[in-house]
Amino acid sequence: MTLLGYPEAAPLAGLAGGVLIGLAAAVMLLGLGRIAGVSGIAAKAAGLGGSGIARSGAWTFVIGLPLGALVVSMLQGGIEARFASAPVLIVAGLLV
């Protein structure tokens, strides 16, 4: 499936990724009673957070994020990454 004006877009893959993120957030909310805020979980893993998820659980979550991406990459036969220019990335990062 392609989008008009975006021939390399992968909307179905994006939809699948969004569904998986939503499921992970729902499991965390229902299982631990916490919202899956990555910055809070990363702070807990680094020993800066005070309450909520156990530190071992925070490390599991933080390590699982890139490992999950690695598994998908390996199953898909690799991913060709291309990035915007440095100024665009800086502005985008500041906006986030």
* Residue 1 pLDDT: 61
Whole-number pLDDT of residue 51: 67
Q: How many domains does the chain have?
A: 2
Write the secondary structure of the chain as one string of H (helix), E (strand) and C (coil).
Answer: CCECCECCCCHHHHHHHHHHHHHHHHHHHHHHCCCCCHHHHHHHHCCCCCCCCCHHHHHHHHHHHHHHHHHHHHHHCCCCCCCCCHHHHHHHHHHC
Looking at the fold, whether 26 and 56 belong to one and the same domain comes out as no
- Say which amino acid occupies 65: L
Q: Are residues 61 and 94 in the same domain?
A: yes
For the segment 58-90, what is each residue's pLDDT rounded down to a tens digit?
899 889 988 988 888 888 887 777 788 899 989
Which range has the worst mean pLDDT, 1-10, 24-33, 36-45? 1-10
pLDDT for res 19: 92
d(CA 36, CA 79): 26
Looking at residue 11, its pLDDT comes to 80
List the domain range (segments joined by +) for residue 44.
38-96
**0.75 cut: is pTM over it?**
no
